Amino acid sequence: MKITIENAKKVLIKYLGKNTEKVNHSIRVAEIAKKLAEKCGENVKEAVIAALLHDIGKSMNEQEMLNLCLRRETTLYDFELYSYTMALHGKVGAIIFKQEFDKSIDPIAFDRIKQAISYHVAGGEEHMSKLDKIIYIADNIEAKKQKRYENKNIRNLVGKLENNEKIDIDEFVKIIIEEKKKRAKQEGRTVNPLVDNILEK
């Protein structure tokens, strides 16, 4: 399948169509990703497609995710295996993306979108690209999720975007990770240790 926004919508419905909440979340993330991409001079079409597809891995249950990752010899971390298997949905989404879309037509866009889907949970082995960061931010500040953070720092980020203020992508990422850590600590959870790599890189 050719990499287009129309086809991304079809694939989103194919995998998450039964779950209206997840479809709506993906559409809201795409709207924010579009705004961020426009502001940062990033490829808008790729940002929208990656955002629409970022959670398609959630169409599988934990066992199916594990089986698929093991079949594909995907690198798995302790946190994903023992603490929170759902954290694999980014890697799983990237595998589904590879199955559905044709790399030969636009190999650069293909690789960039695939990585953004894979990295949206907590980064990955490689340096996070600007596109990866846009999807990561959009996913974390979209309206419904935002309510999870009764937090002025996240609200400020959303406000900056809405008021069309100048934004610093890396600062956004840093604030989101700090808030995630703070919240995990309050709730006695461990946060995905991979996020520390995002800050270091």
Using CB under 5 A as the criterion, which residues of the chain lie in contact with Fe ion when the complex forms? Answer: 55, 139
CB of 139 to Fe ion, least distance (A): 4
CB of 79 to Fe ion, least distance (A): 15
Nearer to Fe ion, 42 or 139 (CB): 139
Written as six digits, the tokens of 28 are 């809201």
CB of 95 to Fe ion, least distance (A): 14
Nearest CA among 179, 158, 171 for reference residue 199: 171
Nearer to Fe ion, 107 or 146 (CB): 146
CB of 65 to Fe ion, least distance (A): 12
Nearer to Fe ion, 46 or 139 (CB): 139
Alpha helix (H) ranges present in 120-168? 130-141, 143-146, 152-162
Instruction: Give the DSSP letter of residue 92.
Output: H
Give the H/E segment covering residue 71: helix 62-71
Nearer to Fe ion, 12 or 109 (CB): 12
CA distance 141 to 175: 11
Written as six digits, the tokens of 149 are 């953070």
Written as six digits, the tokens of 61 are 């249950």
Tracing tokens 């935002």 back to the chain, one arrives at: 146
CA distance 94 to 102: 13
CB of 120 to Fe ion, least distance (A): 6
Question: How many other CB atoms are there within 10 angstroms of residue 154's CB atom?
Answer: 21
Nearer to Fe ion, 3 or 53 (CB): 53
